[in-house]
């Protein structure tokens, strides 16, 4: 299975989702290919933001080598599933021409269909940790559902 995680700038939320999915695929020995991208090109070529790198590191995940890129209908249409962090990302992906049946919101997996907020919307140091926990839960639920796992 190939999954693309998408947020707005590809420097906070989607790199965390990519890192968590890679970690879980390795841990659970799954054949899973993952990547991440943004609906905007504002940060093309940039590394994930410091807050995301640090929170991932606290959870033993290294996302520091990832680079931001803009999602492309032509390059990314090969993914089996495109997982957006929020409703605005879903709308942008549909507007770009992606097949709606491939697009899912991460919050639909164990998070009561909630949007995953940008960690900068939190005005405290716990914002990245809160967003990390939401993404981790969503990614775990997504993987368990599609790989039919009953892992604790």
62: annotated active-site residue = no
Selecting among 12, 13, 69, 86, the annotated active-site residue is 13
Confidence at residue 149, expressed as pLDDT on a 0 to 100 scale = 74
The arithmetic mean of pLDDT across residues 22-47, rounded, is 94
Q: Which residues pair with 6 in a beta bridge?
A: 37, 84
Catalytic residue status for 7: yes
- Tell me the whole-structure pTM to 2 decimals: 0.95
Between 63 and 123, the higher pLDDT residue: 63
Please give the pLDDT value at position 108.
96
What's the whole-number average pLDDT of the chain?
Answer: 94
Residue 126 has what pLDDT?
84
Predicted local confidence at residue 152, as pLDDT: 58
List pLDDT tens digits, range 63-79.
999 999 999 999 999 99
Residue 151: per-residue pLDDT? 65
Catalytic, 13? Answer yes
pLDDT at 92 over 80: yes
Q: What is the mean pLDDT of residues 91-101?
A: 97
Which of 69, 86, 115, 118 is an active site residue?
A: 118
């Amino acid at each position: 299975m190939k999954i693309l995680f998408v947020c707005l700038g590809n420097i906070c939320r989607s790199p965390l989702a990519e890192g968590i999915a890679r970690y879980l695929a390795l841990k659970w020995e799954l054949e899973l290919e993952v990547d991440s991208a943004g609906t905007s090109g504002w940060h093309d070529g940039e590394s994930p933001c410091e807050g995301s790198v640090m929170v991932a590191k606290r959870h033993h995940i290294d996302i520091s080598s990832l680079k931001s890129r803009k999602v492309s209908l032509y390059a990314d249409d090969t993914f089996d599933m495109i997982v957006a962090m929020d409703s605005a990302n879903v709308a942008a992906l549909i507007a770009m021409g992606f097949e709606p049946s491939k697009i899912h919101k991460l919050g639909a997996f164990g998070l009561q269909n909630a949007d995953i907020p940008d960690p900068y919307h939190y005005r405290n140091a716990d914002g990245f940790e809160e967003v990390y926990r939401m993404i981790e839960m969503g990614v775990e639920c997504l993987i368990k559902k599609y790989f039919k796992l009953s892992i604790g």
